[in-house]
Amino acid sequence: MRFFTAGESHGPELTAIIEGVPAGLPLLIEDINHELARRQKGYGRGGRMIIETDQVKITSGVRHGETLGSPITLVVENKDWKNWSSVMSADPVEDKKKLVRRVAKPRPGHADLVGGIKYGHTDLRNVLERSSARETTIRVAIGAIAKKLLRELEIEVAGHVLEIGGVKGAIAKNLTVTEIQQKSEASEVRCLDAAVDEQMKAVIDRAKKEGNTVGGVVEVVVGGVPIGLGSYTQWDNKLDAKIAQAVVSINAFKGVEFGVGFEAARLPGSEVMDEIVWDEKTGYTRTSNNLGGFEGGMTNGMPIVVRGVMKPIPTLYKPLKSVNIDTKEPYKASVERSDSCAVPAASVVAEAVVAIEVAKAVLDKFDADSFVRMKEEIKNYRRYTQTF
């Protein structure tokens, strides 16, 4: 499975073309719109969430509620386009320097200046429109298809927030993926520890009042994963590496870890490796999951546990110092509409990108033409790995 996305933040629409989804997968528009709505929720979101109510259109690859095996095209309209139709018009304009909303003041921490230098843009809006986190909308739509495929194969994905602005929630242990889903959905900050909800909200409120932003840490758990997705044979076939790349590709994400992650540097090997056990009912399992479901770049049958750290959003209502690219004079960076905290929403995006990589690995390993055959093949493979 592969995909491309296209579209600008204030352009008419966001588009994705997805190739390689097997024929016969049940898929409804509601499956995708549900995930799009989840992305727009969360404490700390900005004014655009009031303007936009993201809804998807499926313009190819699905007929009568089932995928055809041909490329799927998804379109999400930008409702705010009507206010930007002249600024973002595809038609030429007479004098670009007289454009309203032209950007000459790059924001620290954003793609503005580097992208302008790289592509030769003197209006930095040409950069910020595509580098905006608005692009994650269409990746959540793609992730919804991936999650639907995985769910039909009894593989569940859940995300939640571990930390916002230095406020950490207690790590919930022994929860099923379904329980994680339920608890995170019940929290405005998507935290499993209800005791810190109000503390996290207070941190977000303080940042907003001060014209500042805050980041945090999110975690994604994938349960029911078959043994042996990915491969140890080549570096670029390792599934944990692909997931790491996908997580860091989310706007403002700066780091990723699996299982105990960086804590492994401070522990002896005897407290990091997961001991192997076997019984007739469950087959091979581990007595712990310190490695986050991976050994040698392959899934070992334990839940995948991956965390990503999101930096504070670089767009501040109390902007930092920058340089005007026209005059080269010091200036306060330009302000675009922004959230004070997008960590709860980012956990939904993280779910999507992890689900996409796991779904691609499933499609690489099993029959990817017919979903009916795939289900049967995976059923037989699970039986094989249990009795190996």
158 CA to centre of own chain: 12
pLDDT at residue 315, as a whole number: 76
The proportion of the chain whose per-residue pLDDT surpasses 70, expressed as a percent, equals: 95
pLDDT at residue 310, as a whole number: 97
Q: How many residues does the chain have?
A: 388
Q: Looking at the predicted structure, is the pLDDT value of residue 101 above 90?
A: no
Instruction: Provide the whole-model pTM.
Output: 0.95
State the pLDDT confidence band at 65, using cuts at 50, 70 and 90: very high
pLDDT, tens digit, for every residue of 11-55?
999 999 999 999 999 999 999 999 999 999 888 766 555 566 899
Domains and CATH numbers, the chain: 2-387 (3.60.150.10)
- Helix then strand count (H, E) for the chain reads 10, 17
Choose among 60, 14, 19: nearest CA to 6. Answer: 14
Choose among 267, 170, 268: nearest CA to 219. Answer: 170
pLDDT at residue 47, as a whole number: 57
Q: What is the mean pLDDT of residues 236-240?
A: 97
pLDDT at residue 46, as a whole number: 64
pLDDT, tens digit, for every residue of 156-204?
999 999 999 999 998 878 899 999 999 999 999 999 999 999 999 999 9
How many Cα atoms occupy the beta-carbon half-sphere of 293 within 13 Å?
Answer: 26
pLDDT at residue 172, as a whole number: 74
Return all residues near 138 (Cβ < 8 A) that are at least 6 apart.
5, 7, 14, 15, 16, 74, 76
Measured CA to CA, the distance from residue 301 to residue 381 in angstroms comes to: 12
The mean pLDDT of the chain is 93
Q: Looking at the predicted structure, is the pLDDT value of residue 308 above 60?
A: yes
pLDDT at residue 48, as a whole number: 55
pLDDT at residue 357, as a whole number: 98
pLDDT at residue 23, as a whole number: 98
pLDDT at residue 92, as a whole number: 87
pLDDT at residue 336, as a whole number: 61
Q: What separation in angstroms does the CA of 321 have from each of 108, 313, 324, 335? A: 8, 16, 10, 12
Do the beta carbons of residue 22 and residue 370 sit within 8 Å? yes
State the pLDDT confidence band at 96, using cuts at 50, 70 and 90: low
pLDDT at residue 171, as a whole number: 82
Q: Looking at the predicted structure, is the pLDDT value of residue 330 above 60?
A: yes
State the pLDDT confidence band at 380, using cuts at 50, 70 and 90: very high
pLDDT at residue 362, as a whole number: 98
Q: Looking at the predicted structure, is the pLDDT value of residue 237 above 80?
A: yes
